[in-house]
Amino acid sequence: MSEEASPASIAIPRPTAFSVVVFSESFKFNLAHFVAYRGFRERLHGHNYRLSIELLGSRISSDGYVMDFGDVKTVARAACKQLNERVVVPSKSDVLDIRPLPTKPDHTILTCEDATVFVFPTSDCFFAPIMHSTVEEISLMMYGMIVEQLGASKLLERGIHKIKLKLSEAPGQESSIEIPVTNGFDRSTWEKSGFGGTLKCCESFVKFDPSICGPCKE
């Protein structure tokens, strides 16, 4: 008859990774847009976007949470509210001329490469630091909005090292991005860098800030 293993000899598994997903019916916004690039422009249309956030961490903090769901919900709702019922204007586009309407300064005029002209009340626009109003680039922008409000230092203190965002624009159409949390994160720098160099350089982007874009300096 074999002897029972002593407690000291038993291998006890230790969790090394944790993930929490936060999603709510209130994480949604309606946004009008059109994608435009050299030689192409979509018609103006809109989507009902839905957001979910996943936090990846290395431990559970002393309060029993990876992160309080309530904190994440507050930040996500605020980000969605900023975008809701707006026309997204990609301010770094290289095919759109964006300026105040001379006869009505409280309106914005967008002149496209194909000479199409759109005029919107400026208060109805969301001027986004992106080149194209795709779900992928909107996701990158929202990562910055969310990390800024949650606080990179707070996230890292809690062992959260990565954030994954999913943004859906229609059933069966969604973007998923997974980005590490970095100490000293600054949203303005993140946006000016083209989201860490993700955006390709363009004439308007170089005018925006040539000193901070790595590819432009090379």
For residue 84, how many C-alpha atoms fall within 13 Å in the half-sphere facing its CB?
12
First-last CA distance in the chain: 73
Residues 6+ apart with CB under 8 A from 154: none
At residue 16, the pLDDT reads: 72
Both tokens assigned to 90: 């990609």
Burial of 72 (C-beta count, 10 Å sphere; 0-12/13-18/19+): buried
At residue 136, the pLDDT reads: 95
What is the SS3 string spanning the chain?
A: CCCCCCHHHCCCCCCCCEEEEEEEEEEEEEEEECCEECCEECCCEEEEEEEEEEEEECCCCCCCCCCCHHHHHHHHHHHHHHHCCEEEEECCCCCEEEEEECCEEEEEEEEECCCCEEEEEHHHEEEECCCCCCHHHHHHHHHHHHHHHHCHHHHHHCCEEEEEEEEEEECCEEEEEEEECCCCCCHHHHHHCHHHHCCCCCHHHHHHCCCCCHHHHC
At residue 120, the pLDDT reads: 98
At residue 209, the pLDDT reads: 41
Cα–Cα distance, 175 to 136 (Å, whole number): 6
Contact present, 18 and 58 (Cβ < 8 Å): yes
Both tokens assigned to 114: 């194909």
In a structure prediction context, what are the per-residue pLDDT tens digits for the chain, which is 218 residues long?
A: 555 655 556 777 666 789 999 999 999 999 999 999 999 999 999 999 999 999 999 999 999 999 999 999 999 999 999 999 999 999 999 999 999 999 999 999 999 999 999 999 999 999 999 999 999 999 999 999 999 999 999 999 999 999 999 999 999 999 999 999 999 999 999 999 999 888 864 444 333 344 434 334 33
